[in-house]
Amino acid sequence: MAHYFEIKKNKAGEFVAYFKYNSETIFWTEGYSSKASAKNAIESIKKNGPGAETREAE
């Protein structure tokens, strides 16, 4: 699979969810105090992301 989510701890000890494509980080979440919260963020992105509109900054 070319794209995937990966959960890692940052330097502050928080759990961060990274979205990667061909091993390159495309975006990441804020840091969470628990791995469960990072997993919840991933599920939210999967659920709500496909219908999100695209906006251009002016």
Q: Would residue 29 count as lying in a domain?
A: yes
User: What radius of gyration, in Å, describes the C-alpha atoms of the chain?
Assistant: 13
**Domain boundaries, position 13:** 3-49
Q: What is the pLDDT of residue 58?
A: 87
In a domain, 56, yes or no: no
CATH number for 12: 3.30.160.160
The number of folded domains in the chain is 1
Tell me, yes or no, whether 58 lies in a domain. no
pTM here is 0.85
For residue 52, CA distances in Å to 2, 17, 25, 29, 41 come to 22, 19, 20, 17, 15
Find, among 29, 31, 28, the residue nearest to 11 by Cα: 31
The C-alpha atoms of residue 32 and residue 38 are separated, in whole angstroms, by: 6
pLDDT tens, residue by residue, 14-42: 999 999 999 899 999 999 999 999 999 99
Does residue 42 lie in a domain region?
Answer: yes
pLDDT, averaged across the chain? 95
List of long-range contacts for 5-13, beta carbons under 8 Å, 24+ apart: 5/42, 7/35, 7/38, 7/39, 7/42
Residue 32, in any domain of the structure: yes
